[in-house]
């Protein structure tokens, strides 16, 4: 396995204070990330060094041997206590209450403050495509992150994760807590992501047209993994897919 980089960001986002009609987050809360009431009960763990060592031992690595892209499951050891995995660890659902952290196995890899989960397979090269089915979720984030990103941070908040976020019926890109609008994408039922490692690109794909809607320029410095965060509903992942013709 290639050596893992250690990149963290001190930036954080605040938890949402209220919901609007239909369970949507209001106003200034768009920049916030999924948070859970147990966040203040986080246990002190060793961080980046242990994450690098554990990641090197446990993560699979996807290469460029075939046209078929990365095949992954969601890694339960990284899932925040508010998240429940299902369907053979290919789907994730959000629970407002979730599990009490003290009842979970002590694990340095688990996200402690934000409702985030990472995949179990890292990418170090090649072009990879996967899809996400959205079920009853009005606010979520999908993208990729460094394998050793801080477990006290959230995808999109630091500068070592690259995500597309959906909230209040609008899409945005998000990097280092900065957002930019994405046009031409409506209410999602299923979306695609195209990762081009050497080209340093992550693209949002409209699966109904098999067309790239927006390209997010990245800055990969080491292995990255698919990453997910959500406030409500469910996300179901579909991996091991070939890169569609024309992309």
Instruction: Please count the CA atoms within 13 angstroms of the CA of 201 that sit on its side-chain side.
Output: 15
- Asked whether the CA dihedral 18, 20, 23, 29 is positive or negative, the reply is negative
Predicted TM-score (pTM) of the model is 0.75
Angle at 89 between CA 190 and CA 58, to 5 degrees: 120
Per-residue pLDDT tens over the stretch 166-202? 999 999 999 999 999 999 998 889 999 999 999 999 9
Percent of the chain with pLDDT over 70: 68
What pLDDT is attached to residue 68?
Answer: 76
What pLDDT is attached to residue 5?
Answer: 37
Least confident of 15-19, 74-78, 157-161, 201-205: 15-19
pLDDT of 3 over the 90 cut: no
Per-residue pLDDT tens over the stretch 22-62? 333 333 344 455 554 444 333 343 444 344 444 433 456 66
Residue 119 contacts residue 159 (beta carbons within 8 Å)? no
């Amino acid at each position: 396995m290639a050596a893992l980089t250690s990149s963290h960001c001190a930036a954080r986002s605040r938890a949402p204070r209220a919901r609007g009609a239909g369970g949507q987050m209001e106003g200034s809360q768009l920049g916030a990330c999924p948070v859970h009431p147990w966040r203040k009960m986080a246990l002190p763990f060793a961080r980046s060094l242990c994450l690098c060592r554990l990641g090197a031992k446990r993560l699979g690595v996807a290469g460029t041997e075939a046209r078929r892209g990365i095949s992954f499951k969601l890694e339960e050891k990284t899932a925040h206590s508010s998240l429940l995995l299902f369907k053979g660890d290919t789907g994730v659902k959000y629970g407002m209450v979730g599990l009490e952290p003290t009842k979970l196995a002590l694990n340095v890899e688990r996200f402690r403050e934000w409702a985030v989960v990472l995949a179990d397979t890292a990418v170090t090269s090649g072009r990879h495509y996967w899809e996400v089915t959205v079920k009853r979720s009005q606010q979520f984030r999908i993208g990729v992150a460094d394998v050793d990103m801080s477990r006290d941070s959230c995808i999109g908040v630091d500068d070592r994760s690259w995500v597309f976020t959906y909230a209040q019926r609008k899409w945005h890109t998000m990097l280092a807590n900065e957002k930019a609008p994405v046009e031409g994408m409506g209410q999602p039922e299923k979306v695609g992501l195209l990762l081009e490692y050497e080209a340093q690109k992550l693209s949002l794909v409209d699966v109904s047209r098999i067309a790239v809607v927006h390209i997010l320029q990245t800055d990969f410095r080491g292995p990255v993994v698919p990453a997910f965060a959500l406030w409500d509903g469910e996300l179901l992942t579909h991996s091991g897919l070939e890169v569609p013709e024309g992309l």
